[in-house]
Amino acid sequence: MSYPPKCKSCGAEMDAEFVDIGIGTQQVTDWECPNECGYLEWQYEQDMKVANVKISFDEWLKNGVNSNE
């Protein structure tokens, strides 16, 4: 459970922030590659797990940028 995922691009262990909530720790930020190379692909996969409409990675990049406005 505390095992950090590894970046698919460079293999580095990814970082995230955790807080102690009494019964354990809760992750409060997304996993991020310290080299920032695999983060977008990971975020895309997370979004697609809950998305009503599946879109391509390229479309997601465009929509993601726009929806952050």
What are the residues binding Zn ion (CB under 5 A)?
Answer: 7, 9-10, 12, 33, 35, 37-38
Q: Smaller CB distance to Zn ion: residue 7 or 44?
A: 7
Tokens of 58: 């390229």
Q: Smaller CB distance to Zn ion: residue 8 or 62?
A: 8
Give the whole-angstrom CA distance, residue 38 versus residue 67.
21
Phi, psi dihedral angles at 26 (to 5 degrees):
-120, 135
Give the shortest CB-12-to-Zn ion separation in angstroms.
5
The one-letter amino acid code at 52 reads: N
Q: Smaller CB distance to Zn ion: residue 36 or 59?
A: 36
